[in-house]
Amino acid sequence: MADPIKVYPAKPRKVYFFGTCLVDMFYPDAGIAGVELLEREGIEVIFPQGQTCCGQPAYTSGYHDEARSVARAQLDLFPEDWPIVVPSGSCGGMMRKHYPALFRDTGDEARAASVAERVWELTDFLLNVCHIKLEDLGQPTKVAMHTSCSARREMGVAEVGPALIGQLNNVTLVEQVRAEECCGFGGTFAVRHPEISGAMVSEKVDALVETGTQDFVTTDCGCLMNIAGYAEKNRKPLTGQHILSFLWERTNKAGGGS
């Protein structure tokens, strides 16, 4: 039986946008870029104002009751049968893959299943539902890419970012030798195991620097914060950007690209 995540729906008239905590608190430009890209495709974007955390930090730390309480507050935010797009493989993975198990045998099981089956990682949605075509308005550049573990292994979208960047005529995507390895963030993993996390991000940063470019993009803000933060602290020649911000800047006629 095919994974239902790959049974793509027809392009909808409206979508719900689940912004994520890190977009809200640290990288609002990524969320705004995602909305702009969707609206340019003719889709109305609904941003439920009551949204908070998806519950993933508590869930992966083993606090399932607390995670259920946080996640339950999200279930009423998406009453219409529209797709729910998420600019994060981590939060998307939590909502799509883990909500059904989290709410199994509870009174919220059906609502959780309804939400889960409508969740899409946003770059995957842009490429495979909107069939977006990108016109590159920027100057020639090289960029490396890091795909988060959740985006790669839970949401199955490892090839989506490279495919979108491949549409940009003036961008050369350079491959890092540790493309499939974790950056060490892992949500609360970085807090609970700082020494291991630090060693992992050190290797990841070195691999990105060794590509010969000073710029990288990623699909998840947690990875972006971890990798770019380590690079800045240790004076490594590397700067990062969420892929949605990168795509919008390269293709926005009003801004003239970058």
Give the torsion through C-alpha atoms of 29, 68, 8, 133, to 10 deg. Answer: 0
Secondary structure element (H or E) that encloses residue 23, with its range = helix 21-25
Identify the CATH number of the domain in which residue 185 sits: 3.40.50
With 0-12 / 13-18 / 19 or more C-beta atoms within 10 angstroms meaning exposed / middle / buried, residue 62 is: exposed
Domain residues for 187? 141-251
Residues 20 and 124 in one domain: yes
Residues 122 and 157 in one domain: no
Give the Cα separation of 212 and 233 in Å (integer).
20
31 assigned to some structural domain: yes
Mark the ranges of the chain whose per-residue pLDDT is less than 70: 1-5, 255-258
Residue 188 near residue 90, CB atoms below 8 Å: no
Domain boundary among 81, 107, 128: 128
Summarize pLDDT for 38-54 with one digit per residue, the tens. Answer: 999 999 999 999 999 99
Domain boundary among 94, 128, 162: 128
Taking residue 177's Cβ as centre, other Cβ atoms within 10 Å add up to 12
Q: What is the pLDDT of residue 247?
A: 98
Q: What is the pLDDT of residue 6?
A: 77
212 assigned to some structural domain: yes
Q: What is the pLDDT of residue 2?
A: 42
Give the Cα separation of 143 and 120 in Å (integer).
25
Q: How many folded domains does the chain comprise?
A: 2
Summarize pLDDT for 73-124 with one digit per residue, the tens. Answer: 999 999 999 999 999 999 999 999 999 999 999 999 999 999 999 999 999 9
Domain boundary among 128, 149, 170: 128
221 assigned to some structural domain: yes
Residues 62 and 170 in one domain: no
3-state secondary structure of 13: coil
